[in-house]
Amino acid sequence: MEVKDLAFFVLAASAVWTGWRVFRVDSMVRASFSLMLSFIAVGLIMLLLAAPYIGIATVFMMAVEMMVMALFMVMFMMNPAGLNPMWMVHQHRLAAATGFITFAALTIAVLLSDLPGNPVDPAKPVIHDLGVELLGNSMLIFETAGITLLATMVGTVILSSRSGRYGPADEGSLPPPLTPGGRPAGRVPEDEE
């Protein structure tokens, strides 16, 4: 029991720490993989919580997801490697206060409420039970998730494709101005100046 507690505290601390680092590192690739480490720590906590399938599946899914996330980070952020210090935030105090108040309120709620105590029997075949449930009583829910994912795929392709119903999606697009109401940012071709 001692080892399990120790493992939990180490994993919990690393989940929170790496989650925090996501918004503090300059390198975007490091930020994505920091989030991945947070997910991996949570997945390992789930292993401790007797949910091996969900835990390992979280690690698996998040490794793929954060890999894609890292590519998008490199695509859409200036300074993706963090070679210069960077601070791209707005309403920072409000955000920090909201985050902290959420944490404090949830913690108080957790500490004050009467939590249920009916732990999983370690000998229970939880993966088998989950499989039977997914393709048994809860098949409709499972299939709904599947259809939702299919709809997501179709929607993603439609949203992100360049050719739209009314011509190319990027036709006539201008970069946003650097100051409100100013000229579009970016390089202007010489013959237009």
Partner 1 sequence: MTLAAVLIVSAALIGIGIYGALSQQSFVMLMMGLELMLNGVLLAVIGFWSFGLGGAPEGQLLAIVVMAVMAVEMAIGFALVVAVYRKRQADMTESLTTLRR
Partner 2 sequence: MSAAVPIIVLFYVLGVGAWLAAALDRAALKLMAGRPLAAATMAEPWRQGDLHLVRQRIWTERPDAMNWLLAPALYLILAAVGMSVVPFAPGFVVADLDAGIVLWGACEALTVVVVFLHGWSANAPLPLIGAYRYVAIGLSAMLLSMFVLIAAALPAESLAVSAIVESQASVWNVVRQPPGLLLFLMLGLSLTLRGPFDYADASDLAGGTSAEDSGPARAAWQAARLAMLVSVSAMTSAVFLGGYHGPWLPGPVWMLVKMAGVLAALVGATHMLARLPPARMLTLLWTVLLPLAFLVLALVGAEVLLWK
Q: Are 189 and 179 in contact (CB under 8 A)?
A: no
119 vs 193, beta carbon nearer partner 1: 119
Contact call for residue 29 and partner 2 (CB under 8 A): yes
Contact call for residue 11 and partner 2 (CB under 8 A): no
Contact call for residue 42 and partner 2 (CB under 8 A): no
Instruction: Record the tokens describing residue 110, joined without a space.
Output: 């957790």
Over the window 120 to 159, marking each residue x when it contacts partner 2 by CB under 8 A and - when it does not, the resulting string is -----x-x--------------------------------
Contact call for residue 46 and partner 2 (CB under 8 A): no
5 vs 129, beta carbon nearer partner 2: 129
Q: Are 28 and 73 in contact (CB under 8 A)?
A: yes
Contact call for residue 182 and partner 1 (CB under 8 A): no
Q: Position 152: which residue type? A: T
Please state, as a whole number, how many other Cβ atoms lie within 10 Å of the Cβ of residue 12.
Answer: 14
Judged by beta carbon distances under 5 to 8 A according to partner kind, the member of partner 1, partner 2, none in contact with residue 120 is partner 1
Among residues 63, 77, 86, 134, which is the contact residue for partner 2, using CB under 8 A? 63
Spatial neighbors of 78 by CB under 8 A, at least 6 apart, are 86
The count of residues interacting with partner 2 (CB under 8 A) is 22
> Helices 52-76 and 28-48 meet at what angle, rounded to 10?
170
Instruction: Record the tokens describing residue 156, joined without a space.
Output: 């993603």
CA 149/CA 160 separation, integer angstroms: 16
Q: Which stretch, 5-13, 50-58, 141-149, 175-183, contacts partner 2 (CB under 8 A)?
A: 50-58
Instruction: Record the tokens describing residue 121, joined without a space.
Output: 């029997």
CA 74/CA 138 separation, integer angstroms: 40
Footprint of partner 2 (CB under 8 A): 27, 29-30, 33, 36, 52-53, 56-57, 59-60, 63-64, 66-68, 70-71, 81, 83, 125, 127
